């Protein structure tokens, strides 16, 4: 992809599971200021997280460059998934910002979740499912 990833590694923030240098062993891809790992608690097979090397709280605090690199990595990973798994029929791309929105790790990250026909009885409403009463409309 682009640039030397180690250039963007910043000091770890105590207690952040996405900051320790040990996480570098889990990296499956990178692009400049961001990297991807497999989600430890995947919503579906192939669920990935795109994370900035710099510790920053949520999507809204990403720099323009981090957002651009994240977009590039999302597209690259989507294409790779499609080349390796022809059974993928769709995707959810999601970001939780703040505890009330479901964010449990306060280090910005973007979910790329491959979806398969029939993996849920009625997928209509998609990400609206974060507020169950609003999923069906």
The catalytic site residues sit at 109
Q: How many CB atoms lie within 10 A of CB 108?
A: 26
Q: What are the b/e assignments for 72-107, b being 16+ CB within 10 Å?
A: bbbeebbeebeeeeeebeebbebbbeeeeeebeebb
Query: What is the phi/psi pair of residue 36, to 5°?
Result: -125, 145
Helix (H, G, I), strand (E, B) or coil at 67: helix
């Amino acid at each position: 992809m682009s640039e030397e990833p180690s250039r963007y590694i910043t000091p770890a923030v105590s207690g952040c599971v996405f900051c320790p240098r040990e996480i570098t062993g889990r990296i499956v891809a990178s692009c400049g200021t961001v990297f991807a790992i497999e989600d430890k608690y995947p919503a579906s097979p192939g669920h990935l997280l795109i994370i900035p090397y710099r510790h920053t709280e949520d999507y809204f605090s990403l720099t323009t460059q981090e957002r651009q690199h994240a977009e590039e990595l999302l597209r690259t990973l989507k294409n790779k998934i499609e080349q390796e798994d022809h059974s993928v029929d769709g995707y959810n791309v999601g970001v939780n910002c703040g505890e009330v929105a479901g964010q449990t790790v306060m280090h910005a990250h973007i979910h790329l979740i491959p979806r398969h026909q029939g993996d849920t009885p009625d997928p209509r409403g998609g990400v609206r499912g974060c507020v169950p009463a609003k999923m069906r409309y």
